Every structure is written in C-alpha cells, then in structure tokens.
Amino acid sequence: MRRAICKYVSLTWILIILVCGGQGHRVTVEKVTDSYGLSEGPHWDHRIQKLYFVDIYNQYIRRLDPATGVVTSAYVEHGPVGVAVPVDDTTDKFVAGSGKDIVLVTWNGDENEDNATFKVLTSIEPSSSDTRINDGKVDSSGRLWLGTMANEVNGQVAHKMGSLYCINDTFQSEKIVTPVSVSNGLAWNIEDNTFYYIDSFTYQVEAYDYNPNNGSISNKRIVFDLKKANLEGLPDGMAIDTDGNLWIAVYGGSQVIHVNPKTQQLLRKVKIPAANVTSVAFGGPLLDILYVTTSSHGLTAQERKESPHAGALFAIKGLGVRGILANSFAMNGVKDSSEEKNID
Ligand SMILES: *[C@@H]1O[C@H](CO)[C@@H](O)[C@H](O)[C@H]1NC(C)=O
Ligand SMILES: *[C@@H]1O[C@H](CO)[C@@H](O)[C@H](O)[C@H]1NC(C)=O
Ligand SMILES: *[C@@H]1O[C@H](CO)[C@@H](O)[C@H](O)[C@H]1NC(C)=O
Ligand SMILES: *[C@@H]1O[C@H](CO)[C@@H](O)[C@H](O)[C@H]1NC(C)=O
C-alpha cells in the first residue's frame, strides 16, 4: 500500500496547501467557498463549467463559479434538500429531492433566489415514514438514483429505515435496495457495467453488476471496508476516475480516500481540514479537479471557531487522474421556463 505522507502548510486562512509525497504529483487542497451547513451532492455542470451542490438542512441549492469564486444560492421552501441535479437541455430547471418528495425547481443560477419556484412531482415514501431523501446521482440513461435515511432525532439516525430508488423520466420510482440506513455515495464505472454504492453505517463500499439497458443491478459484493482497513469515520459520497478507482469522502475521518475496488487496495489518502467530509465530484475543464464538500452541521458556536473550515468546499488539484462527466436528468417533455406550459 502506498501512503501519501501529507503535511499542512497553511498559507492564509483561505488557501491551504497540502504537500503530498509518494505519487510524483504535487497535490494541493484549496478552500474554495465560505463555510455553509451540511454541504453535499457536488455536481459538475460541464455545459457552464460550474459546480452545483446542496446545503441540506439550510435548504439551499448552491452554485460555485470557480472562475470567479462567486457562490449563488436558491432557497427551496419545501424541506431539506438532499440532492439537486440539472434537467437535460435546460439551463434553469433542477430535479431535487426535498424531504420525501421529488420537486422540480426553477432557478437561473445567476442570482440568489430567496424563495425558488418549485413544483412537487412525486413523493417516494409514505408520509408516515420519518425519513428524508439524501444523496443521489443520474445514470447514463438519465434516470435519477437517490436514497433515503431516517430523520435525525436528537443527533441520532435510526438504522435500516431507508431505501435506494431509481426515478425515471416520468417520475415513476422503483425501489432498488432496501433496507438501507444512510443512503450515500453512488458511482458507475466508465464501461457502465458496474455500480458502486455506499450505505454509510455499513462502513463498506458495495459493488454490483449493472445492466445499463434496464438499470438492473445484481451480484452484490463488498469491495472495501473502512473498519477492516483501520480507518476512522464513515464512507459518505463518492466519485470514480477513468482508471476505475474510487474517491470516497470519509465523514468523521478528515480525509478523502482513493481505493482500487478490484484489488480492495487503499491507494492514497488526502487530508481535508474539516472532520466531516461529505462528498466528492470531479470538475474543471479537464475533469481533473476533485471538489470536496464538508459539513458544519450540529456544531456549537465554540466548535465552529475550533473548526473554521467545516462546511466549506475544497478543490484538490494535482491528483493526476480524471473523472467521468456527470449526467443530467432526462425529463419527459421539459423545456426552459420560456416554454413553461410544456412541463406538464
Ligand atoms: C414562497 O413561495 C411560495 C409559493 O411558491 C409561497 O407559498 C410562500 O409563502 C413563499 N414564502 C415566503 C417566505 O415568501
Ligand atoms: C418508469 O418506471 C416505471 C416503474 O418502474 C415503469 O413501469 C415505466 O415503464 C417506466 N417508464 C419508462 C418510460 O421507462
Ligand atoms: C435486465 O436485463 C438483464 C439482461 O438481459 C436480465 O437478466 C434482467 O432480468 C433484466 N432485469 C429487469 C428488471 O428487467
Ligand atoms: C462531525 O459530525 C458529528 C456528528 O455526525 C459531530 O458530533 C461532530 O461535532 C462533527 N465534527 C466536526 C468537526 O464537524
């Protein structure tokens, strides 16, 4: 196992550089946004070269323009926003998981929106279940895969209350995996024949054979186990590179890990100056920058002072790998708001 020995060289409060040995690359970690709440679900929109992410309990969809550093935000009044992805062929529509519902949010992304227009499309779990939508991602056919988890009660999350669903272009949902505790990272390899999935409380990363034609998964196996690797923390969001290796955010572990799912080898670790690392996504013109979201959720004012970077986004450069383009949601009949009447 090759291990990057990293040490911090803190330049300013904004810029944090880590110098890592072991890979022949100079890896840098830069803070690229202010601190928010539970930042998650990063999605690189290659059409506009900007990064969307959600701030779950604050109920925002946010957008970072890396060229200017400007973050714009849209508040979604409906409930916690677990995931939001752009709708194909539109510049101002997002399909989002808010509370237990799938909502269509209209937002141009350029200006802050303190009460974004939204429409509830469908509810994926019964109103009686005390759950909410968490992380999600779109597959190569434009279907949105997203999962649920129990609502937090006094900081505790009940186990095995959630499921993983697949939502198609007419908003019909199919239950794919159940029960799950905290549905999180999802990734498909570039060959589109393997699906990787994380239910955080298992401390494991699962792999399945994936059939891109009908979206079915089969032959579950475990490809990495954080406990067995003696790593502290929970696996959270995840991305995959073109070599087929996984990049996994470690919640409570202050790091992102790089794993070869075929050999179960831990390839690298990249330290992040926030304990609760929530997710990762490749972005940038060459898809070679790994954007990292973190959380400040649940911290007291004093703890926020001690963890000033918690809730911020970071950009890791110099990894020497590239990601795969993110898909946007294929929605039946949707057009830009100039043709709003076609939405139904
Ligand atoms: C936000 O907009 C909705 C309609 O989309 C409206 O019902 C609600 O009152 C608005 N909230 C605020 C705080 O203005
Ligand atoms: C959408 O999913 C539902 C439920 O799985 C299925 O019955 C329906 O045929 C699907 N629609 C399309 C267009 O694939
Ligand atoms: C999807 O296709 C595969 C291969 O043709 C088949 O084995 C599987 O049963 C199909 N699954 C569903 C849900 O239709
Ligand atoms: C990380 O999250 C846990 C709960 O999930 C919380 O107890 C802890 O204070 C958080 N730590 C930081 C530094 O954000």
242 burial type by CB count under 10 A (0-12 exposed, 13-18 middle, 19+ buried):
middle
List pLDDT tens digits, range 159-204: 999 999 999 999 999 999 999 999 999 999 999 999 999 999 999 9
Question: Does 303 map to a domain?
Answer: no
Which of 70, 92, 123 corresponds to the end of one domain? 123
CATH number for the domain harbouring residue 252? 2.120.10.30
State the pTM of this model.
0.92
Tokens coding 66: 């890396």
CA distance 309 to 68: 20
Same domain membership, residue 194 and residue 114:
no
- By C-alpha distance, which of 191, 228, 56 is closest to 135? 56
Angle at 72 between CA 67 and CA 75, to 5 degrees: 160
| 68 and 169 assigned to the same domain | no
Nearest CA to ligand 3 atom 1: 214
305 φ, ψ (degrees, to nearest 5) = -65, -35
Higher pLDDT, 338 or 238: 238
**What is the rounded average pLDDT of the residues 58-64?**
98
Cβ-contact 194, 188 below 8 angstroms: yes
Band (pLDDT 50/70/90 cuts) for residue 336 is low
Residue 338 has pLDDT above 90, yes or no: no
Does residue 149 carry a pLDDT above 50? Answer: yes
Asked if the structure places residue 301 within a domain, the reply is no
Q: Check whether 9 has a pLDDT greater than 70.
A: no
The catalytic site residues sit at 236
**Would you place residue 222 in the very low, low, confident or very high pLDDT band (cuts 50, 70, 90)?**
very high
Say which amino acid occupies 274: A
**Residues near ligand 2 (Cβ within 6 A):** 168-170, 172, 174
Write down which residue in 123, 142, 165 finishes a domain. 123
Beta bridge partners of 249: 256
Cβ pair 127, 74 in contact under 8 A: no
pLDDT of residue 332: 85
Task: Give SS3 for 320.
Answer: coil
Q: Is residue 58 part of a domain?
A: yes
What is the per-residue pLDDT across 91-135, written as a single tens digit (0 to 9) for each?
A: 999 999 999 999 999 999 999 999 999 999 999 999 999 999 999
Asked if 314 and 30 count as a contact pair (C-beta separation under 8 A), the reply is yes
Please give all residues whose beta carbon lies within 6 A of any atom in ligand 3, as ranges: 211, 214, 216
Nearby residues of 339 by Cβ (< 8 Å), 6 or more positions away:
none
Note the pLDDT of residue 334: 64
Q: Cα separation of 120 and 268, whole Å?
A: 42
Distance from the CA of 95 to the center of ligand 1, in angstroms? Answer: 19
Q: What is the pLDDT of residues 68-83, one digit of tens each?
A: 999 999 999 999 999 9
For ligand 2, atom 5, the nearest C-alpha belongs to 174
Would strands 93-98 and 101-106 be described as parallel, antiparallel, or unpaired? Answer: antiparallel
Residue range 22-50: mean pLDDT, rounded: 92
Residue nearest to atom 13 of ligand 3 (CA): 216
Instruction: Tell me which DSSP letter residue 143 carries.
Output: P
Q: Read off the pLDDT of residues 278-321 as tens digits, 9 standing for 90 and up.
A: 999 999 999 999 999 999 999 999 999 999 999 999 999 999 99
* Measured distance CA(3)–CA(66) in Å, rounded: 30
Range of the domain at 14: 1-35+49-123
pLDDT > 90? residue 335: no
Picking from 99, 123, 147, the residue at the C-terminal end of a domain is: 123
What single-letter DSSP state applies at residue 156? Answer: B
* Residue 204 and residue 115 share a domain: no
Question: Which strand (E) or helix (H) includes residue 247?
Answer: strand 246-251
Q: What pLDDT does residue 280 have?
A: 99
- Average pLDDT value over all residues in the chain: 92
Number of domains in the chain: 2
pLDDT band for position 341 (50/70/90)?
A: very low
**Ligand 3 center to residue 195 CA distance, Å?**
15
